[in-house]
Amino acid sequence: MTAALALLFDFGLAALVLIVATWTLMTRETAAAAVGFVAYGLLLTLVWVRLAAPDVALTEAAIGSGVTGTLLLGAAARLRSTEAAAEAEQPGRAMRFVVALLCASVSAGIAGAILMLPDPAPTLAPQAMAALPSTGLGNAVTAVLLSYRAIDTLLETVVLVLALLGVWSLAPDRVWGGHPGPLISSNQERVLTFLAQLLPPFGILVAIHLFWIGADAPGGKFQAATILAAMWILAQRAGLVDAPPVSRRWLRLVVVAGPAVFLAVGFFGSATAGAFLAYPEGYAKPLIIAIEAALLPSLAAALALLVAGPPARTESR
Amino acid sequence: MTLALDILTVVAVSAGAFFFLAGTVGLLRFPDSLSRLHALTKADNLGLGLIVLGLLPRAGGVLGALKLIAVWAIAQFASAAVTQLLARAARTAEPPA
């Protein structure tokens, strides 16, 4: 009975994911498609929960749906003036056919690869669990992210800094180094001010909780940083705090500090443990915590600044 | 006692699901933005509240139950604030006749 119900739920969920994905692709209006993308991300979060991958589910909800959705909505708002022209542009029939063919063959290739996986699927999970005691961690996902495949995580955090540089470089010369986003005076929107005063204490508490339990349970710096970034953005949008000018040295230091500490620990590993990003015997957990603690403010600042956008004005509040 | 708690769970979660269904129907059927928002708040408030109430006996301890209540309370704050913002935006876009 329970198994049948679960199967019914899973089929319904899979169908819903496909329907929302198709709708998002077919929608011509950019803002509506961005909203569809957020709904799609939340459905994917449920899929990850059903696949017993709460770590991925948290990341999908926070980064995949939350931050990316906000970025897409911001982009849609910026593109509104050119929207009519873009919609009027219809690619030719042959072009559309080629695109559809290419997309369909990529989908068929991925589906084929997944369907042809040997049963049981190849997995490194037993080895990952077996090596867990050497890292001092209790959560295998954190061990993969910060020990076995730390280099991937290092590159990911560097990519975020590069993405921020890319966004900043979109600023026109006359406002370079200025504040990102529009000038928002406080008390413009009382309800928003109330929410922005009430929510951050809870948000910061939840973020620290997520960060700290990440060693032994689902959670970690990325999800925690997203919540911190969201709280900062909320306070900015309500006009309670002004986004700092991007030329501020402290701001740049905060953004770079996390990846820099990560790199330093990596070189420390080459000197003491014989390989880049290797942790000396018995020091794995403190070093991992040091990296995560350094990354938390960097990631939060980088994500919030990505959402805030390129520098747009030189006047302060 | 367990039977009573089970009945509470089934009744409260079903009632919550009903409010979500009603809210969704309202969202799809109501003619203007303000009444659509009105329908949504019922799903957020009563629907989520009843589902949380029904899940409380199954939370596996006081801490889990408090977390569920916190989820409901924070969703209340967020949805109340967002509804007001949306309603104001809707009124600016389409002033009432």
Which residue on chain A is closest to B84 by alpha carbon? A191
Specify the 3-state DSSP secondary structure of A315: coil
Contact between residue B63 and residue B50 where contact means Cβ atoms under 8 Å apart: no
The β-bridge partners of A311 are A180
ipTM of model over 0.85 = no
Residue B69 has pLDDT above 60, yes or no: yes
The β-bridge partners of A256 are none
pLDDT in the model for residue A1: 65
Q: Mutate one of A35, A38, A195 to test the B interface: name it (highest B CB count within 10 A).
A: A195
The β-bridge partners of A179 are A313
- Compare A284 and A8 and report the one with higher pLDDT: A8
pLDDT in the model for residue A228: 95
Q: Which residues contact A159 (CB under 8 A, 6 or more apart)?
A: none
- pLDDT tens, position by position, A176-207: 888 988 787 766 678 888 888 989 999 999 99
Long-range contacts for A106-111 (Cβ within 8 Å, ≥24 apart)?
none
Q: What is the DSSP letter of A313?
A: E
- pLDDT tens, position by position, A211-235: 998 888 888 888 999 999 999 999 9
Cβ contacts of A189 on chain B, cutoff 8 Å: 85, 88
Per-residue buried b or exposed e for A228-258, using 16+ beta carbons within 10 Å of the residue's own CB: bbbbbbbbbbbbbebbbbbeeeeeeebbbeb
Which structure tokens are listed for B69?
């209540």
Q: Mutate one of B66, B84, B86, B88 to test the A interface: name it (highest A CB count within 10 A).
A: B84
B81 touches chain A (CB under 8 A): yes
User: Among A266, A285, A283, which residue's Cα sits nearest to residue A138?
Assistant: A285
- Compare A3 and A159 and report the one with higher pLDDT: A159
**Do B78 and A199 count as a contact with CB atoms less than 8 A apart?**
yes
Which residue on chain B is closest to A195 by alpha carbon? B81
- pLDDT tens, position by position, A245-263: 999 999 999 999 999 999 9
B81: distance to nearest CA of chain A, Å? 6
Distances (CA, A) of A179 to A158, A197, A228, A315, B37: 23, 22, 20, 8, 35
d(CA A295, CA A202): 21
Mean pLDDT of chain A: 89
Residue B37 has pLDDT above 70, yes or no: yes
**Do A195 and B77 count as a contact with CB atoms less than 8 A apart?**
yes
d(CA B89, CA A265): 50
- pLDDT tens, position by position, A6-58: 999 999 999 999 999 999 988 888 899 999 999 999 999 999 999 999 999 99
- The mean pLDDT value for B62-70 works out to 91
d(CA A65, CA A215): 24
Contact between residue A271 and residue A125 where contact means Cβ atoms under 8 Å apart: no
Cβ contacts of B74 on chain A, cutoff 8 Å: 199, 202
Beta-strand ranges (E) seen in chain A are: 179-180, 311-313
- The mean pLDDT value for B32-56 works out to 89
Residue B96 has pLDDT above 70, yes or no: no
Residue A68 has pLDDT above 90, yes or no: yes
Cβ contacts of A39 on chain B, cutoff 8 Å: none
Cβ contacts of A217 on chain B, cutoff 8 Å: none
A189 touches chain B (CB under 8 A): yes
pLDDT in the model for residue A214: 84
pLDDT in the model for residue A32: 92
pLDDT in the model for residue A201: 93
Residues above pLDDT 90, as percent of chain A: 48
d(CA A92, CA A188): 47
pLDDT in the model for residue A187: 63
